[in-house]
Chains A and B, each alone.
Chain A
Amino acid sequence: MTEQEVIELIDSSLAEEFELDRADMTPEANIYEDLGLDSLDTVDMVIVLEGAFGFRIREEEAIRSIRTLGDIHRFVVGKTTENS
């Protein structure tokens, strides 16, 4: 899977789960302030990413520092590279 394909899968999975508008999903978008996610969504976000990529990330410390969509892209691209 190329980096672009990984990013596309992240965005489409999150858009589907959280009813997000793809136009708002820029790498700089803050997932809380700009995309409107809240504390109830963070667990769902992890579950969605685990389901989409088949890895387990719920115990990862790095997840706590995620703020923007770009952070998610970097984190997941890193994980997929690590696992390949």
Chain B
Amino acid sequence: MRDEQKIAASDSGAELIPVLMSLWCYSLLLIWTLLGILAFPFAFSLCLLFLRWPTDQLMRWFIWLYGRGWLLLMSPFVQFRREQMQQIEVGKPCLFVVNHLSFFDTYCMALLPVHDITFAVRSWPFRIFWYGGFMRLAGYLDVEGSRWVKTLRNCRRTFAAGGTVLFFPEGHRSRDGQLQRFHSGAFKAAISAGVSLIPLCIDGTDQLLPPGRKLLHPCRIKLRALAPIDTREFVEVDGHVRLRKLVKGQMAKALEEMRTLDGAVDGLQEIHGRADEENPAG
């Protein structure tokens, strides 16, 4: 009987955490966003004046800092982990491709050691009124609404200025965590510009806000960078198909490894937790 009461109490505690977490995270995110919008004109003008960076590059830095703030306010409930970031050479132009699990994946890109990241996205995020203006100012690429030639030209311009471009090759969030079909755009862009392609694997954001749910859940989020791929070896006709298959294979393998390790850690914690419960004094 006492055990049943214990289980019921622990269940209600477990149910309460997502509510508390959502209250904490959503309200702080709202405050952080409002503060950002209000402080933006002053801070941006000041930085423009003193740093003298190009407007779009400065905006991308601001967005990265906004993401950093988001990581900080989520940190009481979310464990963030970066893996193999030494694969990324800061200041060297490259194209990132990353799997897509959640709306929050974009925020997690603040885990990257580079801040000059031009996101290539579909048209709908540009219609979010509190983000759209900033995205345009940052020179983000609307791959759905723009002509491909223009997207390619903008990619090359970003690389020429020493920046990076980031694509979600799946185009949509995955509903089951598995990699979906990859679109070819990112691979064609990297080959055409002759820059390295760095695959990134993200895991855990689907646990943060599971599909169809409104409450956030505590989780572990991992972002791993894989080895850069020299795209000059893929310049033949249909080379993008070969590159796409190679990258997808590497990402699937890395994700499986990340999840297996995560599962093993959970299993160990469960065993230790149970042992502690059985032997609280130990």
Contact = CB atoms under 8 A, between A and B. Distances in A.
Interface residues of B, number: 13
B181 interface: yes
B241 interface: yes
A33 B146 CA distance: 23
Nearest to B241: A16
Interface in B221-247: 237-238, 241
B171 A38 contact: yes
B184 interface: yes
Contacts of A39: 144
Interface string B181-220: 1111100000000000000000000000000000000000
Interface in B120-150: 122, 143-144, 148
B182 A40 contact: no
Given A40-B144, A40-B171, A43-B148, A17 B185 contact: no
A16 B244 CA distance: 11
Interface string A19-48: 100000000000000001011110110000
Contact of B182 (A19, A43, A51): A19
A55 interface: no
Interface in B166-188: 171, 181-185
A18 interface: yes
20 contacts: A16-B238, A16-B241, A17-B184, A17-B241, A18-B181, A19-B181, A19-B182, A36-B181, A38-B171, A39-B144, A40-B122, A40-B143, A40-B144, A40-B171, A41-B183, A44-B183, A44-B184, A44-B185, A51-B237, A51-B238
| 8 closest residue pairs by CB, A with B | A19-B181, A40-B183, A43-B148, A44-B184, A39-B144, A40-B171, A16-B241, A40-B144
Interface of A: 16-19, 36, 38-41, 43-44, 51
Interface of B: 122, 143-144, 148, 171, 181-185, 237-238, 241
